[in-house]
Amino acid sequence: MEESIALVTGSSGYFGQRLVKALAEEGYVVRCVDLNPPESKLPEKCVFHRANMLSKEEMEPLIKGAEVIFHTASAGMTGSYQLDENLNKKVNVNGTSNILNLSQKHNVKRFIFTSSYNVIFSKKELVNVTEEEPYPDDKDQYDWYSKTKKEAEKMVLAANNEDFRTCALRPNGIYGLEQGVTIFKFGIGTCILDWCHVMNLVEAHICADRKLKEGIDVSCGKAYNISDDAPSDPYVFLFPLFKAMEQPLPQISLPFYLVFFFAYLSEKLTSFLLVAFGFRLEPIVTRNECLKVCLSHYCDITAAKNELGYRPGNYKFSDAVDILMKERKTKRRWSEIINDNRYKFYFAFALALVANYLFKFIYHE
């Protein structure tokens, strides 16, 4: 009996490696595609291929003969990369288009896209919303990652037909835990967020593949919210990490509009340096990151449960932290974090001075 072939883009990433292992356990021969090889040894019948998903010549022979594509690769999730219009359009839009076209050309049967809550996140809260939540306008999204992932998701879902079944899975992720100014928290009040353990995201992809394979129309051409189904306050959720790193929870609360203003100025400077000189300066915080920690955003996953058969496992963040700390050679203390991010503190202080002088100037006028 001929073995089924699955192709995974972004296979060397933290999520990609775990998805490859799960697909191997499902009986697939897996073509692992990325720009860099994986850190760990691949399971039997899984082969790494160094390829650029923007290249038709490199991707075509890998896609040919595949039964299902898991498109997990993307660019622009964090920091200055969110603001890089060219990078995000090239990878998230053009790259997805290239893989979609080649998949249809070579009669791939199923296409599963790793999307993001970002496609529906803008400047308003998302409170237990379903997949019926409309896409926000581009003008209401402040980063190119959100805009381009939204465009890519639309492309994938529109490509669905009887012979080429597609779906998109939207997780909410945790990014940059050790980056930025962790002694501050933004805004006031309680913010509730969704979280998604990596193995729950893997399970969702396996469930989606099984349903698309069955050809049940209800699951084809649709997007699904994916989470642990346990929304919580971010600082409560992340407490085990702060504890393990011997850091207190953030106590200094900064006004939202002040942080948002600093984020705007920081973005402008970052974008200017990137376009004018090709120099990548990491912003203190972006407006999207500011909104993410100030606005509640959690979604209803009933559709994923009922239509995909998805059942999130009961994982504990504290267990993940234990594994993380065992893998670290040394713990990062306050002095190390401040030293690594000192230019951000200097920049924040400079911005505060500018804002102070502007306020005094306007007030006296």
The helix or strand, by DSSP H or E, that contains position 344, with its residue range, turns out to be: helix 342-364
Please tell me which residue, 326 or 41, carries the higher pLDDT value. 41
Q: Which range has the worst mean pLDDT, 130-144, 208-222, 321-335?
A: 321-335
Where on the phi/psi map is residue 186: left (φ > 0), alpha (ψ -120 to 50), or beta?
A: beta
At 5, give phi and psi (nearest 5°). -110, 130
Domain ranges of the chain: 5-176+196-228
Identity of the residue numbered 52: N
Q: What is the mean pLDDT of residues 40-60?
A: 96
What is residue 180's predicted lDDT score, i.e. its pLDDT? 38
For residue 85, the SS3 value is helix
**Beta carbons within 10 angstroms of residue 227's beta carbon:** 25
- pLDDT tens-digit map of 229-255: 988 776 665 655 555 555 555 555 667
| Mean pLDDT of the residues in the chain | 83
Distance CA 103, CA 97 (A): 10
Q: Looking at domain 5-176+196-228, what is its CATH homologous superfamily? A: NAD(P)-binding Rossmann-like Domain (3.40.50.720)
Least confident stretch, 133-137, 311-315, 323-327: 323-327
What three-state secondary structure class fits 43? coil
d(CA 122, CA 134): 11
The residues, any chain, with a CB within 8 Å of residue 102's CB and separated by 6 or more, are: 56, 59, 60, 63
C-beta separation of 197 from 320 below 8 A: yes
Asked if the model's pLDDT at residue 133 lies above 90, the reply is: yes
**Structure token pair of residue 94:** 């053009």
Would you name the residues annotated as active-site residues?
Answer: 145
